[in-house]
């Protein structure tokens, strides 16, 4: 008896409530939505089409997971994304539990030229992980992490969150580069490059990716690596979701203590000149172990501050000595750097960036921190509690990878700027977005290109952003997705 047949049996139904792992047995129309009539949908070119009820139900029967239609009790919860700015209504949601489910969904959509979005963690800032009238391929329940401590590898499914990866690796005294909000999805984060607090030490997340399982547009499930289909493996490391649906990632892990020298240093905004002038002279000599970069924001009570977020990935004593000159600058309001659980830093922004928050972001890569750039940072500061400027320090191991070794095009950037606004009231939409854009415009002359995981308005700009990598990306796109089926991303046009 195979797993799907077992899950349909009366015995499975009787004990499913007692054994959580049986909650994955969703196929065969049990909890899946069934269509009684055809349903309207949107094609790849934006035209209206009809999806036949029989075909939808046949797809549902083929899945280990389930289909959610708009009348399903879980539809509204499943379609919601992290960013509350987006309220999209897919024609159907395919909630996948294994790679074969993804294959069936891709085949169904390709045969009907149906618009498709892929949801991992749902953190796509511009809302590309859902769509109106198309199919959402939902990987959120594919979230298992398996760690091989001897090989120092982690195998994560495509719907895993970064916190799940961090937690599983740390149980074995290991780590890899992950992002700064733990409820972000591993999938989209990795495919865009993967900036994190350990990138100076261990490189970007893509630099730690050893292989991947991907479902391509033909529905094939393929294992790719530097040895197997190297062009496709090259392209997914920075080229985003242009080439298929990644259902599993294999990451290199590194020995790492549970507690590290880390925390935040906070000064009043009036001391920004002293802090940034010092930082501009100091940062270029930092060791790979030290991750530190400035942020500028306004506290809820109205006080402007400049903040340095610190993580030292080495001996705490050495970290104290290397950080000491910065701690002597000005009069910090708070010097909260201490030896503490690494997850304190990895989760400190989770509540601020909670699910449902309304958010808008602009960003840019900065090649060099010059005096003119620092002048512009100070002049551009916007005293608004809804808006902040963050920087994600690069350099170190990131810059020692050849510019064209992966599809990520910004190896020579010293830092990445993120102009992010967060608010709850829809009445604030227009003003918060305008303020964010104004701050970005002031510093845009110092940037070159953007980080595809963050940039909100990415349409029609991918070619310039990818620079010398774009031609190869377009050729790989033409080979693996010649009709541009996977288009809800920082899109690469197939070479023609």
pLDDT at 14: 32
pLDDT at 456: 73
Predicted confidence (pLDDT) at residue 7 exceeds the cutoff of 90: no
Average pLDDT for 383-399: 95
Task: Give the pLDDT of residue 496.
Answer: 86
What average pLDDT does range 450-478 have in this prediction? 88
Contact 178, 193 (CB under 8 A): no
Give the list of residues 6+ apart from residue 350 with CB closer than 8 angstroms, or none. 181, 182, 183
Q: What is the pLDDT of residue 279?
A: 96
pLDDT-derived band at 463 (thresholds 50, 70, 90) equals: confident
Statement: residue 454 has pLDDT above 70: yes
Residue 459 has pLDDT above 90, yes or no: no
199 in Cβ contact with 396 (< 8 Å): yes
Instruction: Tell which residue, 266, 268, 292, has the closest CA to residue 280.
Output: 292
Instruction: Report, as an integer, the average pLDDT of 281-297.
Output: 95
pLDDT > 90: percent of the chain: 90
Mean pLDDT of the 249-266 span: 98
Single out the residue of 310, 304, 306, 267 nearest to residue 286, CA to CA. Answer: 310
pLDDT value for 462: 83
pLDDT value, residue 32: 55
Compute the average pLDDT of residues 26-44: 75
Query: How would you list the strands of the sheet with 135-138, edge to edge?
Result: 66-68, 92-95, 135-138, 116-119
Mean pLDDT of 152-162: 98
For the chain, percent of residues with pLDDT exceeding 70: 93
Query: For residue 26, is pLDDT > 90?
Result: no
414 and 367 Cβ atoms separated by less than 8 Å: yes
pLDDT in tens, 71-120: 999 999 999 999 999 999 999 999 999 999 999 999 999 999 999 999 99
pLDDT at 127 exceeding the cut of 60: yes
- 3-class secondary-structure state, position 426: helix
User: What pLDDT is recorded for position 455?
Assistant: 82
pLDDT at 29: 38
* pLDDT at residue 18 greater than cutoff 50: no
Angle at the Cα of 146 from the Cα atoms of 142 and 152, rounded to 5 degrees: 140
Q: Output the pLDDT for position 460.
A: 64
Reading the block at residue 241, the tokens are 């979701």
Distance of alpha carbon 417 from its chain centroid, rounded?
16
| pLDDT at residue 458 in the model | 64
- Phi, psi (rounded to 5 degrees) for 225: -160, -175
**Domains along the chain?**
3-138 (3.30.43.10), 145-255 (3.30.465.10), 259-446 (3.40.462.20)
Q: Inform me whether the pLDDT recorded for 22 exceeds 60.
A: no
Residues 257-274 have a mean pLDDT of: 97
pLDDT class of 254 with cuts at 50, 70, 90: very high
Handedness of CA 62, 65, 70, 73 (dihedral sign): positive
Beta-strand relationship, 135-138 and 92-95? parallel
Element (H, E) at 325: helix 316-327
Mean pLDDT score of the chain: 92
Asked whether the predicted pLDDT for residue 328 surpasses 80, the reply is yes
């Amino acid at each position: 008896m195979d797993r799907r047949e077992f899950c349909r049996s009366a015995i499975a139904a009787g004990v499913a409530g007692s054994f959580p792992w049986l909650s994955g047995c969703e196929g065969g129309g049990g909890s899946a939505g069934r269509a009684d009539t055809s349903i309207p949908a949107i094609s790849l070119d934006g035209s209206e089409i009809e999806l036949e009820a029989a075909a939808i139900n046949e797809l549902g029967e083929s899945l280990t997971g389930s289909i959610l239609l708009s009348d399903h009790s879980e539809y509204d919860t499943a379609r919601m994304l992290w960013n509350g700015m987006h309220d999209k209504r897919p024609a159907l949601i395919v909630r996948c539990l294994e790679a074969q489910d993804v294959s069936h969904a891709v085949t169904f959509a390709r045969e009907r030229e149906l618009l498709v979005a892929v949801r991992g963690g749902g953190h796509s800032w511009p809302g590309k992980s859902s769509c109106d009238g198309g199919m959402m391929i939902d990987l959120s329940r594919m979230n298992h992490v398996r760690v091989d401590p001897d090989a120092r590898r982690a195998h994560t499914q495509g719907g895993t969150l970064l916190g799940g990866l961090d937690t599983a690796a740390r149980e074995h005294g290991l780590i890899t580069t992950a992002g700064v909000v733990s409820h972000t999805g591993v999938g989209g984060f990795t495919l865009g490059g993967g900036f994190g607090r350990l990138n100076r030490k261990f490189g970007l997340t893509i630099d730690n990716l050893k292989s991947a399982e991907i479902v391509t547009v033909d529905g094939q499930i393929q294992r790719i690596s530097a040895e197997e289909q190297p062009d496709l493996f090259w392209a997914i490391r920075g080229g985003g979701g242009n080439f298929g649906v990644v259902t599993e990632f294999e990451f290199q892990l590194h020995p790492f203590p549970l507690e590290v020298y880390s925390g935040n240093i906070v000064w009043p905004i009036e001391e920004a000149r002293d802090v940034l002038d010092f930082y501009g002279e100091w940062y270029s000599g930092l060791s790979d172990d030290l991750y530190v970069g400035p942020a500028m924001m306004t506290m809820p009570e109205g006080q402007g501050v400049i903040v340095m977020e610190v993580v030292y990935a080495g001996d705490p004593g050495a970290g104290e000595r290397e950080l000491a000159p910065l701690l002597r600058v000005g009069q910090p309001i708070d010097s909260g750097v201490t030896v503490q659980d690494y997850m304190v830093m990895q989760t400190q922004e989770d509540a601020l960036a909670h699910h449902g928050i309304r958010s808008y972001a602009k960003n840019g890569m900065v090649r060099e921190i010059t005096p003119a750039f620092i002048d512009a940072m100070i002049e551009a500061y916007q005293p608004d509690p809804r808006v902040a400027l963050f920087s994600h320090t690069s350099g170190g191991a990131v810059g020692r990878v050849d510019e064209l070794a992966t599809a990520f095009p910004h190896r020579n950037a010293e830092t990445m700027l993120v102009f992010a606004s967060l608010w709850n009231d829809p009445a604030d939409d227009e003003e918060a977005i305008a303020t964010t854009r104004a701050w970005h415009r002031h510093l845009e002359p110092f940037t070159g290109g953007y980080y595809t995981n963050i940039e909100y308005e990415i349409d029609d700009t991918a070619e310039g952003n990818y620079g010398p990598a774009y031609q190869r990306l377009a050729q790989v796109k033409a080979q693996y997705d010649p009709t541009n089926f996977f288009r809800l991303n920082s899109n690469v046009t197939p070479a023609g």
